[in-house]
Amino acid sequence: MGEERSLNFIEEIVEEDIAAGKHGGRVLTRFPPEPNGYLHIGHAKSICLNFGLALKYGGKTNLRFDDTNPSKEETEYVDSIKADVKWLGFEWANELYASDYFDQLYDFAVTLIKKGLAYVDDSTAEEIAAQKGTPTEPGTPNIYRSRSVEENLTLFAEMKAGKYPDGAKVLRAKVDLAASNMHLRDPLMYRIKHTHHHRTGDAWCIYPMYDFAHGQSDAIEEITHSICTLEFIPHRDLYNWFIEQLAIFPSKQYEFARLNLNYTVMSKRKLLQLVEEKHVEDWDDPRMPTISGLRRRGYTPASIRDFCERIGVAKRENMIDVSLLEFCIREDLNKTAWRRMAVLDPIKMVITNYPENQTEYLFSENNPEVEGGDGGRELPFSNQLWIEREDFMEEPPKKFFRLGVGLMVRLKSAYIVKCDSFTKDANGQVTEIQCTYVPESKSGSDTSGINVKGTIHWVSVAHAHTAEVRLYDRLFKVEDPSNEDGDFKDYLNPDSLHILPQAYIEPDLANAIPGKGYQFIRKGYFTIDKHSTAEKLVFNRTVTLKDGWVKK
């Protein structure tokens, strides 16, 4: 962010419109989610684009719930969507619902019937499909197409009044059965669905189709730039046709490439399957590509906005590498995360020349990347420490700058120690190492003159707290699970969650702030999980310090 970049193609369009004085230079965009699932990182791209344009050009953005499909929509989803958009840092001008326009949409439909541009069709879905022709052959009109305006008005009113069962009739636009664009071959406008709606209850039993709701909602709100993803290109002619025939506000649709991210799936339908079949804990499982999952994992709004900015706005679909998303969160957390010490796979170090039962408090900065260190905390040091098992080797190779008998390291923020010996159990497992420390080597006032290459982290045994630490890997084993043979769930990574039931953490981490990032020195960035309690602390690893992922 902050870097100069050239305009994306949508910004170019907006700037041309402003320069031409179109709509008085006004910019009004909308973000139109269907409340049938939780938002994912793909939606974040659409949110950043729509809200970003308005912010950049002094405009506004509406949050409009596209709730025309009654069976799938739920209030839980509405609430989560609002929370996610806010969390990403955006404010909508108006919270709106396509269902608020049901009366007006009905009136629009009546207008088209009166103009001879819509008719009630009694055909089945199969008959309609068959009569539509193929891309190379025109469709064939059926007997209902020539119904009189009066008959259509009566039938449509009866449809609304609940006289007919689901599927008995539809309302279609009378456009062009020979159009090369199949979407213009008399598309459906309304279908009968005796289903309860989350907002309108049982007031309606006919519901408008997407194509007869979306553009009309845009026009009602006087949206200037209606931005959607590429799959809506074939709908654009119909979008314009309805607006022209109804002579309503001329909103215009523009399409950009949706975000595809590797090693995950992004369709809400698939994400719902993962939740319902318990492959993940919930929509906000930290492995999910949902906004709520990323939040729980420890992603920050700034990192997601930065990611959306970096991937840009394209006219052609491509696959974005998840390592770019990880790069963005590392960049952000490097600047904001407090450094802490935690030992994930412990062995004990005993410092034989340090007084037993003595505690020394060593000051350590929160973040050396920040000028002044961003404050700090006092780290308790004593003669027994937990260190990482991998920092000791029985037979260290050359250039192993950590511990083995005879080798020296610096204990971060503390002293230089030298390993003298170690102890093993009956299974040959190293259980303890014995060291001596160099009293004059204290960090910040080191007069020992000893130079060591390695620095390792540690936690005082007597002062350590324990925590469960959850390490995550990619949810899928393959880059594009939706594009593989068989079911996408066959490609789930069985090792996507690794739980360490008892890690040792420095005492200050018992006060970890929810939503804040912590760097466990040398181990990655972590954040406290939403289910963490004072009795049982739980940390999620947001991301490792470096991109260490290798293709399996």
374 belongs to the binding site for ligand ATP (CB under 6 A) = no
Q: Which of 215, 195, 211 is nearest to 203 (CA)?
A: 195
452 belongs to the binding site for ligand ATP (CB under 6 A) = no
Strand order in the sheet with 338-340: 338-340, 518-520, 524-528, 537-543, 465-472, 497-505, 342-343
Q: Which stretch binds Mg ion (CB under 5 A): 24-32, 33-41, 487-495, 543-551?
A: 33-41
Contact in structure between 292 and 80 (CB atoms under 8 Å): yes
42 belongs to the binding site for ligand ATP (CB under 6 A) = yes
Give CA–CA dist 399/538, Å, rounded: 35
Give CA–CA dist 469/509, Å, rounded: 12
Within 10 angstroms of residue 447's Cβ, the number of other Cβ atoms is: 10
- No. of H helices and E strands in the chain? 12, 27
331 belongs to the binding site for Mg ion (CB under 5 A) = no
Cα 434 to chain centroid, rounded: 47
Strand runs labelled E in 264-415: 318-320, 338-340, 342-343, 346-351, 360-365, 376-381, 384-388, 408-411
Q: Which of 213, 27, 182, 236 is nearest to 109 (CA)?
A: 213
34 belongs to the binding site for ligand ATP (CB under 6 A) = yes
- Which listed option, ligand ATP, Mg ion, none, makes contact with residue 285 (CB within 5 to 8 Å by class)? none
SS3 for 17? helix
Taking the least distance from each CB to Mg ion, the nearer of 148 and 267 is 267
477 belongs to the binding site for ligand ATP (CB under 6 A) = no
Taking the least distance from each CB to Mg ion, the nearer of 65 and 491 is 65
The catalytic site residues sit at 34, 258, 268
- Which listed option, Mg ion, ligand ATP, none, makes contact with residue 268 (CB within 5 to 8 Å by class)? ligand ATP
Please pick, from the candidates 153, 266, 405, 430, the single residue that binds ligand ATP as defined by CB under 6 A. Answer: 266
Residue 534 has phi, psi (to 5 degrees) of -60, -35
| 50-79 residues near ligand ATP, rule: CB under 6 A | 66
Q: How far is the CB of 36 from Mg ion (least distance, A)?
A: 8
259 belongs to the binding site for ligand ATP (CB under 6 A) = yes
258 belongs to the binding site for ligand ATP (CB under 6 A) = yes
Q: How many residues bind ligand ATP (CB under 6 A)?
A: 15
36 belongs to the binding site for Mg ion (CB under 5 A) = no
82 belongs to the binding site for ligand ATP (CB under 6 A) = no
- Which listed option, Mg ion, ligand ATP, none, makes contact with residue 267 (CB within 5 to 8 Å by class)? ligand ATP
122 belongs to the binding site for Mg ion (CB under 5 A) = no
34 belongs to the binding site for Mg ion (CB under 5 A) = yes
Q: Which of 284, 285, 117 is nearest to 187 (CA)?
A: 117
45 belongs to the binding site for ligand ATP (CB under 6 A) = yes
Q: Which stretch binds ligand ATP (CB under 6 A): 40-48, 286-294, 301-309, 376-384?
A: 40-48
Please pick, from the candidates 10, 18, 23, 43, the single residue that binds ligand ATP as defined by CB under 6 A. Answer: 43
Q: Which of 285, 261, 263 is nearest to 274 (CA)?
A: 285
Give CA–CA dist 552/374, Å, rounded: 40
Taking the least distance from each CB to Mg ion, the nearer of 42 and 59 is 42
**Could you give the maximum distance between any two Cα atoms of the chain, in Å?**
102
187 belongs to the binding site for ligand ATP (CB under 6 A) = no
Residue 344 has phi, psi (to 5 degrees) of -85, -35
Q: How far is the CB of 85 from ligand ATP (least distance, A)?
A: 11
229 belongs to the binding site for ligand ATP (CB under 6 A) = yes
- Which listed option, ligand ATP, Mg ion, none, makes contact with residue 220 (CB within 5 to 8 Å by class)? none
Give CA–CA dist 313/258, Å, rounded: 9
432 belongs to the binding site for Mg ion (CB under 5 A) = no
Q: Where do contacts with ligand ATP occur on this chain (CB under 6 A)? A: 32-34, 42-43, 45-46, 66, 228-229, 258-259, 266-268
